[in-house]
Amino acid sequence: MTRLAIVTGTSSGIGRAVALRLLDHDWDVIGVARRDAAIRHARYRHLALDVGDLTALTATFERDVAPLVSDPARTRIGLVNNAAVIGRLRTVDATDAAALRTTYAVNVVAPVWLTGFVARHTPRTAALRILDVSSGAAIRPLPGLGEYAGTKAALRMMSMAAAADFQSAPLNGRMTRDAAVLSYSPGTVDTPMQVEARGQRPDDFPAQTWFQERHDTGGLHAPELPAAEIVEFLESAKALAFAERRFGE
């Protein structure tokens, strides 16, 4: 049994917890982040990459990762599109065009491209499980969080669109039929992303008080909890072509 997972954002938070759990479960793991993940394991390989640098991302994956994914001995490929930035936590009047483009590159373009990459390269005899990390912000607006929320709403629809593509006749004939996509909201998780949101001035970022209150009332959980649900999906024998789930449901 040779199972390979690609996990983005393994240097911190949820992504790191997912990589460690997958290694515990005997998966081969390719982790991606700009920083080192401080994971030393024979089955872990780290790619120090800025996923928003789309030229570097696509070249590195086609050159170094494609042969590992397309190995006919693979029985299962997992992709966890986890890396994201929270973006500029400002109201719309303070939009910075270049920052907005970077946020969309990291949070939307990279995960969608990676979805196509695994669809192309996964052996037709292997199972394919793709988990896109979503957020309550994808469906509920909070003031000052529009940049991030827009990317998560876009990713959520792209997850559904990819699943529809996988089932369409032409693509279905070219790729594994055992493919499933899960759009997954991890709940409110105790990671540096939450620290960044709480650290803003409410004058600049009106939703600061929402994040502060979640923290102060004990509403944050450890990254290991959503990581367990993520790994459970990657290992699922049967899965709907598309599903949407929130932590604990």
Ligand X SMILES: NC(=O)c1ccc[n+]([C@@H]2O[C@H](COP(=O)([O-])OP(=O)(O)OC[C@H]3O[C@@H](n4cnc5c(N)ncnc54)[C@H](OP(=O)(O)O)[C@@H]3O)[C@@H](O)[C@H]2O)c1
Per CB under 6 A, residues contacting ligand X are 8-15, 32-35, 49-52, 82-85, 106, 133, 135, 186, 188-189, 191-194
109 or 175: CB nearest ligand X: 109
- Minimal distance, residue 187 CB to ligand X, in Å: 7
176 or 194: CB nearest ligand X: 194
- Residues 78 and 3: beta-carbon distance below 8 Å: yes
Q: Please give the Cα distance from 11 to 195 (Å, whole number).
A: 16
DSSP-derived pairing of the beta strands 127-133 and 179-185: parallel
- Minimal distance, residue 189 CB to ligand X, in Å: 4
119 or 189: CB nearest ligand X: 189
* Two structure tokens written together for 236: 């699922």
The DSSP secondary structure of 176-243, one letter per residue, reads: -S-EEEEEEE--SB-SHHHHHHHTS-TTT-TTHHHHHHHHHTT--B-THHHHHHHHHHHT-SS--SEE
Q: Please give the Cα distance from 140 to 152 (Å, whole number).
A: 11
- Of 174, 52, 69, give the one whose Cα is nearest residue 113: 52
- Minimal distance, residue 139 CB to ligand X, in Å: 12
- Minimal distance, residue 214 CB to ligand X, in Å: 8
8 or 159: CB nearest ligand X: 8
The DSSP secondary structure of 57-92, one letter per residue, reads: HHHHIIIIIHHHHS-TTEEEEEEEE----------G
**Total count of residues recorded for the chain:** 249
- Minimal distance, residue 66 CB to ligand X, in Å: 19
47 or 77: CB nearest ligand X: 47
The closest residue (CB) to ligand X is: 13
- Minimal distance, residue 75 CB to ligand X, in Å: 27
13 or 144: CB nearest ligand X: 13
- Minimal distance, residue 12 CB to ligand X, in Å: 3
How many Cα atoms within 13 Å fall on the side-chain side of residue 24?
11
Q: Report the greatest alpha carbon distance in the chain.
A: 55
70 or 198: CB nearest ligand X: 198
